Structure 1
Amino acid sequence: MLKFAFRDYFGVSEARIHSYIGHRLRDGYGVTETLTDRIIAEAPRPALIITADQGSTDHERIARLRDHGFIVVITDHHGVPASGPPPAAMACVNPVREDSAFPDPYIAGVQVAWLLCCAVRQRLIRDGDLPASAPKLGGLLDLVALGTMADCVNLARSINNKAIIARGLAIMNSPVARPAWQALYVASHCKGPITAATLAFHFAPVITARGRLASALGGVALLMSDNA
């Protein structure tokens, strides 16, 4: 979702956007030491690093990234230590922070990242770097909907999660649906409209399985493919 937002909505060249996701079995989960080593060795500088669904407890690694010239912004929805978010980060956007004024602590990590991008769009317009007519990021809510279902977050307590999924499903079932949905629909032998159950029991397991056993970058490539 972040790549789509920066490339398609904010005009950042895809050549300037780099994805780093740890290999689950070799690196573990989150901003791990081995992943940090790889970023330091490979990523261009200066650079902004935006985490997705992780980072709130990874102070030591984020401090290393800062010390090597990176600016780190955390987007996450997991618990924050009692000592607070990592002070080495430029910002930590997380609805479960003790000082958070956001009224819904149950949203998925992907929605936190999407809301950050919505705020970035508003700021770019205010600063004159985007026209006021620049499209809103609602066209990405199909991706946010899938991420919300895959994250197994609370639906009963969060009107935001339910609204995101409802809008995302409408996009997925439209005639101009993303090629990934068309391909997954066929591969999963689905029938009828795409529903929340389709996301939970067909699409999400196919995409997340690879990330649980190896690298999730294959899922990123699938979602970003421009043809079925």
Structure 2
Amino acid sequence: MDTDALPGATEAELSPLETPVEDPDELDSELAESPEEPESSESSDEEAFAEPRLSPSQQRIQREIEKRRQLEWDLAQARQSEARLQAQLSNRATFIDPQERQRRLEAMEPDERYQFLLNERDQATRGELNQLRYQMLSSNDSHQFQNYLARHPEFRKYEQEVEGYFQQAVSNGQPQSRNALLSWLIGERVRSRADGAVSRAKRQGSENLKKVATRPAAARSNVSGSERSSQMTAEQRLFMNLERGAYKGQL
């Protein structure tokens, strides 16, 4: 990589993949061979999204894989920024009037003319290589995302949305992995449902309070006790008197 394209940047800063990291293919195979606990049968997104509990060695392998993926995306973003800068410089040269460019070339010494043409071709070639590298990383990320969906088909309904956010991130010059975008999208869905549940609970509570406040009081009977007693049958009056103990001492 040409470090002159990014002022102040060093080769180590532009090549984070030089950091010793275990081969992700070996880590993936080792992780696949390790026994995993059966997945939960819950159907909710937030519970289904939770991975089975991993052993310490599996967690270390998973961290190394994620670290490698993050380094790849950091490198892709750095190369994308470099490609944009090179494209801007190339466009400035392209917009020069052809006659003016030819006049300058004719005024140059042979060595200067050769170096000028070589730099133009080198910039165009590096831009194409950076674009090819980015396409390879994007294809690899898509493959990893499809593998994840194959293991978790309950998330396939988010595939189109994730792809839309991915293309938008690429257009903005800030590419994100599809798996990271899926995690963000599901988190947004869970939070939206939680906010909706709270709003519905508040609304239902308010409606219940209104119902209690507007409920009419129970109507009181205007029939006196003596009138009710006269309307009773003989058996009912006998039972009521027995309950009150009216016949104590007489039986």
TM-score range, shorter chain: under 0.3
TM-score, normalisation: structure 2: 0.22
Larger radius of gyration: 2
Structure having the higher helix fraction is 2
